[in-house]
Structure 1
Amino acid sequence: MERQFDFLMPSVNFFGPGVIAKIGDRAKMLGMHKVLVVTGGHIGKIENGPVDQTVNSLKKAGVEYVIFDGAEENPKIRDIKKGKQIYLDEGCDSIITVGGGSAHDCGKGIGIILTNGDDITKLAGIETLDKPLPPLMAVNTTAGTGSELTRHAVITNEDTHLKFVVVSWRNIPLVSFNDPMLMLDIPQATTAATGLDAYVQAVEPFVSVDHNDITDSQCEKAIQIIQQYLPEAVANGHNVEARTKMVEGEMLAGMAFNNANLGYVHAMAHQLGGQYDAPHGVCCALMLPVVEEWNIIACPDRFAKLAQIMGYDTTGMTTMEAAHKSIDGMRELAKSIGIPDSIKAIGAKPEDFELMAKNALKDGNAFSNPRKGTVEEVVKLFQKAYDGIY
C-alpha cells in the first residue's frame, strides 16, 4: 500500500516574463494596505530593477510600502529583529520579499518573530509554529534556492555561527512571482552558485527517504532542465530562454524538496555557510558528490536511475556501476561552471569539522537522508570535501 503524504506549495505561482507587473493587483486583492518590502544586497540599487518594479506596481495599485534592505547573505538573527522593528514602527500589515533565498528567508524570519515569539532559536525544527505569519508574497530574482515556494526559513545565529532551519507550512508564501526578466543581469558566479543549489535540491529529494512518485517526476525534469540550461545561463546571462528554463527547473526542484525533503548535503552545507559566511549554493555544490557517493550503498537503484536521468547509457552496467556514473554527472556539471574544487576555497578549517559534524546531524534536513551516519563519518565527509571533489 502506498504511504500517505501531503503536498505543499503556494496557493498561487506566477511564472514567466513580465509577471512582476501583477504584484500590485495581487497585494490589493489580499488586503495588503502597507507592505514591508524585504530585500538586500545590490538588488535594490539596480535602476528599474526588481525592487523598483515591485514598488512601482504597488504604487499603481494604491498599496503603501516601506523598504527594509537589510537582508544579508545568510540572513542573521540581527537582520530579522531590525526588520521586525521597522514593520512595527511603520505600521505594516504584510510582507513582500524581493531577492533570492536570503531575502525570502529574512522575510519569513521577520514574520515568524512577529507572531510566534521573539526568540527564533527556540522555533528551530519542524512544524514548531503555532500562529500564522502576516500575509507574505515572494518575488524571486535567482534560480535558485526555491525559498519563494517552500516552508523552510534558514537563519544564521551570528553569535554561534550556527545555521538553523524553521520548517513549517505556515512559512509558505501565499503567492510567488518568478519573472526571468529580473534575472538577466545576475553575475556569472551567482548564477552558477544558485543554479547548483537548485540542482542539489532536485537530486537530494530523489534519493530522500520521503520521496514519492509526484516528487520523483519533478526531480527528473528539474535535473534534465538544469543540466541543459545552467551552463548556457552562466555563459550568457542575457539568454532569455536559458533564464526562463532555469526558473522552470528551480521551481520544480523547490516543489520537490518542499515535500520530499533534503539530506546531509544541505545539513552539512548549512554548517559551512554558518561557520564561514560562504555562499549557500557553493557550499551545497562542494558537498554534493562527496555525500551522495557515500549514500550510494543505501539505495543504489535510485542512483542508477539518476544516472539514466542524467543521460548516461547504463546498458550492460551493474547497478553499482550505473550508480557511480551519477556521481560523475554531478562532478562534471559543477566543474563545467567553475565551482571550486575544495571547501578550502570558502575558508574551511579541519579543526572545525567535529563541531560542524555534530551540528549537521542535528540539522532539520538530516532526518531524510537515505543513509544514517555518525559524527566520525560526517567528519570524514568534510575532510574528503577538503581534500578535493574532482
Structure 2
Amino acid sequence: MWKSIGILATNGGDIGDYEGIHLSKHASLPIIAINTTAGTASEVTINYVITDEERHIKMVMVDKNCLVQIAVNDPKLMLGKPPALTAATGMDALTHAIETYVTKGAFGWSDALALEAIKLISQSLEKAVVDGQDLEARSKMAWGQFIAGQAFSNAGLGYVHSMAHQLGGMYDLPHGVANAILLPHVEQFNIPACAHKLKKVARAMGVGVLEMSDTQGANAAIEAIKALSKSVGIPSGLRELGVKEEDFEEMAKNALADVCTGGNPREVTLEDTIAIYKAAM
C-alpha cells in the first residue's frame, strides 16, 4: 500500500494505471521501509501488489520508481510474531528464492543469492515458528528474505506467484499460504525444464543428492518443500481454505495473464493451470 501511495503522490491518476511493468514516469516520494516480518522483501524490490476487488485479481506493478530510499531489517522487531504469520511469510520468502532460482531470467548473481536464501530459510523457519523469540533464527530469516528479494527483483519470478495471486484476489487468502501450497505442485510441473536446478534446491535444503539423478534430486526438492510446509503448519491443500473448483477456469485465465508468468521455466497452458489447481486441492 505504501508504495502505491508514494507513486500516486508523484504521478497522479488511478493506481490501476500502473498495473504492469515500469508504467510510472516519476520516482515515488522518499520512503523509509522498516520491516516487521520476514517474507515479502518489499523493502528491497521493484514490485508491489494491489487487490482489485471488482475484477477479483491482484494487480502486479513492477516499477523501478517505487524503490525505497532506506530499508531497515532488524530481527528484534520480528521477535514474538505469531507462529502462523511467521510460517506464511517465511514460506513466501522460500517461494521467492526457489522461483527466482529456476526462472528464465536467472543469472549468476541471482542464483548465488537465491541458493543462500534457500539454505538460510530452510535452516531457520521451523525454529522461528516454534520459538518466536529465537533471535538467531529470526536473524537468518531476515537475511534470507532480504537476499531472496534482491534476487527476484532482478531476475523475476514464475507461475507459483501467478497462480497464488488469483487465490488472493478471488478468496483473499494469505499470499504466503497460497504460495506454500502451490509451490511443490508448480515445481513438479516444471521438472522437465529445470530438474538440474531443482536438484540444487534440494541440496540447499539439506538433502543428500550426490547419488541422485537430476530428476531424482528434483523430486527430493519437492518432498523437502512439502515437509517444511507441514512442519510449520501450512494447510495441506486448497480445499481446507474453501477454494472451489468452479472458479478454476477464471483463475487460470487470469494467471496466464499475470506479469510473473513469462518467467516460468516451462510454458504453461490453461489446461495445465487447471490441472495444477486440482492437484493442489
Normalised by the length of structure 1, the TM-score is 0.71
Amino acid at match of 1:374: T
Structure-2 separation of matches of 1:137 and 1:361: 34
In structure 1, what is the equivalent of residue 26 of structure 2? 131
Q: Shift in Å at residue 128 of structure 1?
A: 1.1
The 5-angstrom pairing of residues 342-357 of structure 1 reads 342-357=237-252
Paired residue type of 1:220: L
Q: Does 1:313 align with 2:177?
A: no
In 2, Cα distance between the equivalents of 1:367 and 1:135?
30
Whose helix fraction is larger, Structure 1's or Structure 2's?
Answer: 2
Per the TM alignment, residue 171 of structure 1 is displaced from its structure 2 partner at its CA by 0.9
Partner of 1:381: 276
Instruction: Choose from 143, 157, 173 the match for 1:262.
Output: 157
**Runs of 4+ deviating beyond 6 Å:** none
Does residue 227 in structure 1 map to residue 122 in structure 2? yes
The 2-side partners of 1:115 and 1:240 are apart by: 39
Report the alpha carbon displacement of residue 345 of structure 1 after superposing the two structures with TM.
2.2
SS in 1 for 2:274: helix
The answer to whether the aligner puts 1:299 opposite 2:227 as a matched pair is no
Does the alignment pair 1:109 with 2:4? yes
Out of 177, 188, 196, the position equivalent to 1:282 is 177
Could you say which residue in structure 2 is the equivalent of 1:63? none
Residues in 2 aligned to 1:305 and 1:277: alpha-carbon distance in whole angstroms: 33
Deviations 1:69-128 (A, max 9, x none): xxxxxxxxxxxxxxxxxxxxxxxxxxxxxxxxxxxxx00111222222322222211111
Structure 1 segment 87-102 matched on structure 2, within 5 A? none
Instruction: Kindly state the Cα deviation for residue 376 of structure 1 after the two structures are TM-superposed.
Output: 1.2
Larger Rg: 1
1:143 is matched with which residue? 38
| Match runs of 1:170-185 below 5 Å | 170-185=65-80
Q: CA deviation at 1:346?
A: 2.2
CA deviation vs aligned residue, 1:189-235 (integer Å, no higher than 9, x gap): 00000011011111000000111111111111111111111101000
Match of 2:229 in 1: 334
**Which of 220, 237, 248 is the equivalent residue of 2:132?**
237
How far apart are 1:160 and its partner, in Å? 1.8
One-letter amino acid matched to 1:337: V
Which residue of structure 2 lines up, in the alignment, with residue 69 of structure 1? none
SS at match of 2:61: strand
Within 2, Cα distance between the matches of 1:185 and 1:314? 35
Aligned residues: 281
Other structure's SS at 1:268 match: helix
Measure, in 1, the Cα distance between the counterparts of 2:43 and 2:267. 29
Report Cα offsets for 1:275-320 as digits up to 9, x if no partner. 1111110010011000001001012111122222222222332221
Q: Which amino acid aligns with 2:136?
A: E
**Aligned-partner SS, 2:42:** coil
Cα distance in structure 1, aligned partners of 2:106 and 2:63: 18
Structure 2 residue aligned with 1:372: 267
In structure 2, runs of 5+ residues without a counterpart are: none
Residue of structure 1 equivalent to 2:167? 272
Distance in structure 2 (CA, Å) of the matches to 1:274 and 1:343: 14
- Match of residue 207 from structure 1: 102
Gaps of 5+ in 1: 1-105
For residue 381 of structure 1, give the secondary structure of its aligned residue in structure 2: helix
* Residues 171-198 of structure 1 deviation map (CA, whole Å, 9 limit, x = unaligned): 1111101111111121010000001101
Look up the SS of the partner of 1:379 in the other structure. helix
| Residue 82 of structure 2 is aligned to residue 187 of structure 1 | yes
- The range that moved more, 337-346 or 311-320, is 311-320
Between 203-212 and 321-330, the greater mean CA deviation after superposition: 321-330
Instruction: Calculate percent identity across the aligned residue pairs.
Output: 46
Verify: 1:164 aligned to 2:63, yes or no: no
